[in-house]
Structure 1
Amino acid sequence: MLTRTLFLILTVLPAFLHGQGYTRFFTGDTTDVETDPIPGIVLAGGGGDNDQAMQWMLERADSGDVVVLRASGSDGYNPYFFEDLGVYVNSVETIRFDDASAANDPYVEAQIRNAECLFFAGGDQYDYLSYWQGTPVQEAINYLINEKGVPVGGTSAGMAILSNWYYAPSSFSLDAEEALSDPFHPDYEVLGQNDFLEVPYLDNTITDTHYEQRERPGRHMGFLARIAEATQSRSFGIAANEYTAACIDENGIARAFGEFPEFEEDIVFFLQSNCQEEFLPEVMEAGTPLTWNRGQSAVKVYAIPGRTDGSGSIDLNDWQTVQGGKWQNWYVEAGELTRIPETNGDCADVLSSTADRSDNTAFRVFPTPASGQLFWEWNGASATGQLSLRMITGQEVRDWPNAVSPVDISGLPAGVYTLEAIIDGQLAVKKIIIE
């Protein structure tokens, strides 16, 4: 993993040429080879590439030719893929689209079709959509994914275009407050479906990137609500924090890669609207805050710490067979997102059947502000419970399955947090300040 504090782009001196509407950078053997690649999808959250996920992708190329597509930037992936990761490939070619005309260039189409691995760099997903949709490049990419069966990956904007549903705004990007305060806000703009890339296991799914770093869980919930309402069927989402990646193999098993626990924020999220009989949002009108509660269980989320060995996983054939992560329930009430821990990840399980929302008056947390230790009590309830502490952005920082008072909060940065408690089947949520 390249360092997080100083992201260095190593350079080599590949051959590069300008064509009509594109610039190409080439490293390696110019002789085209034919190998036996293994299908796979890499969804990387941006902010820096995870070496283990990229090695997983390159190994599936079976020593073939790698093509990188981008609409900005230069040749940084050439040395990284060709020599830095220790996986042999025949060549790496970066093709930078300088305008839309390149999507009709015979050379560009041929290079994509001849690749044994394809990767989309970060940038602006609107460029990819506007340049490639309805062109030979779109056909070539779908050929690689669905007929030739090569590993295909993308980071940031490149990840954003790999799901069946995609978000590709032409100007202002939707934020969480806009998404939840008005589920038909104009900044939703281009929310497309089933008219661009065709990727296995990602039907009715939308991805999101730079997830907790850019406070995007709220808007992702808005996306899922829009999809569920539009299709009248369950919606799904995959989201990656920066420096993490989800790798989906040919059998639909998704694994999470990152550097957890060294970096606690290295989490990949798998979201699914609940499969209750009534699962659609309760309040979804233009200009009105979204309510999608469904018994505090509108969306089931499996949060997998990304580890260097990719040991945490979820089977996308059923979205229920899991290991190495934790279930959460997410719901929205009058435009406010709540994320709570859940011990039962079974689809259709409703949290309120086992944990009803308390009015919070019986649950006390002190002192505030707090430092070192946090005391709690719940009048008339047990002295132990399940507690979870989250940053205001939603990232879980401490978890106490069988908590007694006080709990240790030493070492946490000063700021505002959310403490969630489930005790005797009751749920309470408190905002606290740590100094």
Structure 2
Amino acid sequence: MKHQLSIAFILITSILSAQNYVSYFTGNTSNITTTPEFGVCMMGGASENDNASQWFLERANGGDIVVLRASGSDGYNDYFYSDLGVNVNSVETLKILNLAGATDPYVLDKVANAEAIWFAGGDQYDYVSYFKDNEMEDLLNAHVNEKGGVIGGTSAGMAILGGHYFDAQNGTVTSALAISDPYHNKVSIGHRDFLDIPYLKNVITDTHYDDPDRRGRHTVFMARIIADSEDPIRPIGLACEEYTAICIDNEGAARVYGSYPAEEDYVYFIQPRCADYEPDVILLGAPLIWEDGVIAYKIPATEDGLFAVDLNVFADLAIEQDNTEWQQWSVYQNSNTISVTESDNPDCALLSNQEVGSDNILVYPNPFINALVIKNVPNAIITVVDVLGKKQHVIFNSASETLDTSHLPKGIYFLEVETENGVSVFKLMKN
């Protein structure tokens, strides 16, 4: 009898050890194909925001939702499938237990056929170590860049969505520790080598912003991106408090959701100053000193998503809204915390660097990422010239236009704006 029990135990153990993923399925088992609408929805890490979740589901256009997680179980299934009143075909939660689970043919097929993909909270290093540099990474990037699907996540799931990301390979890090040594092994950051999501290529996110205070470590993350890059990079920070969300549509409008004014719910859009933004001191084993620091736009997160920021022209954030606030976050010598003072819109349009001409033309932001805004250019011919002399011509016929630059590699460019009054030349940098 003991021998039989031992055999049974061995068989059960073998079956469990061979289990690389767990599936929890709700809905129609027959896959359908719909045309999703691109979007990114990011949440701060406590309970989900219903309005933002509805926004996320609606962009699947009735299709199939896949939830990826490395711990937990089926908590999203009923919530996404029936609780929010948005029609979807199915919700399948795939709990990935290891690298083999992430690359299992069944898992890859489900991700390939999803119209919406959601990353649950947990440990973001599980996602990085399971999903990066393999077929899963390829499918996730194809989901947003080829299919045009919607993607999102909360807590650890939000942390991995930026082009730059805190991977938590060596565990979490407090603001005080990060400031005291920006190169401590716990300040582990990935750079443009994992997810490639429109509007987030130059972004680093952070979550749980109100509990605990993450402003200091997020500032350090941005300082590290600047210091570690071979080419000039002016990073952007997006941050959510625990009960808030940022949802970005296909035009780059980032709408914020929460429960303000019933609750003090805020999100933060963060950037270094427009020029000369490098940290004063950033060395291994030494505290960060960055007196100019970063500028944060603190925005109330409302139930109706009243406030939005255009990520194409991040520096041109305002129309100023009631109850929004500009802050400067500085790190001074002999301090392991950030100093918060009032600030104003840095308005990087002032860097337009007009050299020739008299049309009061504005070109911004500078540096730019996916788009340039060019104002006061009626009937102008726009010529983008790279450092090798290659040109691209675009004709504008209105007083305010946006030039799509997503196809341009990073580097230095000269923008020639030819009007009836002459030619204006702008030196610009793409990050």
1:20 CA displacement: 4.1
Match of 1:81 in 2: 80
Is the contact made by 1:224 and 1:236 (CA closer than 8 Å) also made in structure 2?
yes
- TM-score when scaled to structure 1? 0.73
Letter of the structure 2 residue corresponding to residue 270 of structure 1: F
Question: Are 2:301 and 1:306 equivalent residues in the alignment?
Answer: yes
Is the contact made by 2:169 and 2:186 (CA closer than 8 Å) also made in structure 1?
no
Structure 2: distance between partners of 1:18 and 1:175: 35
Letter of the structure 1 residue corresponding to residue 40 of structure 2: I
Is the contact made by 2:273 and 2:346 (CA closer than 8 Å) also made in structure 1?
no
1:112 CA displacement: 0.3
Question: Are 2:310 and 1:315 equivalent residues in the alignment?
Answer: yes
Match of 1:263 in 2: 263
2:218 aligned to 217, 220, 225, which one? 220
Match of 1:287 in 2: 285
Letter of the structure 1 residue corresponding to residue 339 of structure 2: T
Segments of structure 1 that go 5 or more residues without pairing to the other structure are: 1-16, 350-435
Letter of the structure 1 residue corresponding to residue 266 of structure 2: I
Is the contact made by 1:18 and 1:24 (CA closer than 8 Å) also made in structure 2?
no
Is the contact made by 2:170 and 2:185 (CA closer than 8 Å) also made in structure 1?
no
After superposition, residues 204-215 of structure 1 pair within 5 angstroms as: 204-215=202-213
Deviation per CA, 1:336-384, whole angstroms, max 9, x where unpaired?
Answer: 41112224442388xxxxxxxxxxxxxxxxxxxxxxxxxxxxxxxxxxx
Is the contact made by 1:204 and 1:227 (CA closer than 8 Å) also made in structure 2?
no
After superposition, residues 13-412 of structure 1 pair within 5 angstroms as: 20-188=19-187, 190-231=188-229, 232-264=232-264, 266-276=265-275, 278-294=276-292, 298-319=293-314, 320-323=316-319, 324=321, 325-334=324-333, 335=335, 336-347=337-348
Structure 1: distance between partners of 2:87 and 2:18: 28
Is the contact made by 1:20 and 1:101 (CA closer than 8 Å) also made in structure 2?
no
Q: Aligned residue pairs: how many?
A: 328
Deviation per CA, 1:141-195, whole angstroms, max 9, x where unpaired?
Answer: 111011101110100000001000111123331111111112212211x311111
SS of the residue corresponding to residue 291 of structure 2 reads coil
Identity %: 47
Structure 1: distance between partners of 2:171 and 2:32: 43
Segments of structure 2 that go 5 or more residues without pairing to the other structure are: 1-15, 351-431
1:18 CA displacement: 11
Deviation per CA, 1:49-97, whole angstroms, max 9, x where unpaired?
Answer: 0000000010111011000000000001000000000111010000001
- TM-score when scaled to structure 2? 0.73
1:120 CA displacement: 0.3
SS of the residue corresponding to residue 57 of structure 2 reads helix
SS of the residue corresponding to residue 141 of structure 2 reads helix
RMSD (Å), alpha carbons: 1.8
Structure 1: distance between partners of 2:53 and 2:77: 13
TM-aligned CA distance change 1:18 to 1:32, over 3 Å: farther
Structure 2: distance between partners of 1:293 and 1:86: 49
Structure 2: distance between partners of 1:248 and 1:131: 26
1:44 CA displacement: 0.5
1:19 CA displacement: 7.8
Is the contact made by 2:40 and 2:248 (CA closer than 8 Å) also made in structure 1?
yes
Over 6 Å off, 4+ runs: none
Structure 2: distance between partners of 1:86 and 1:344: 39
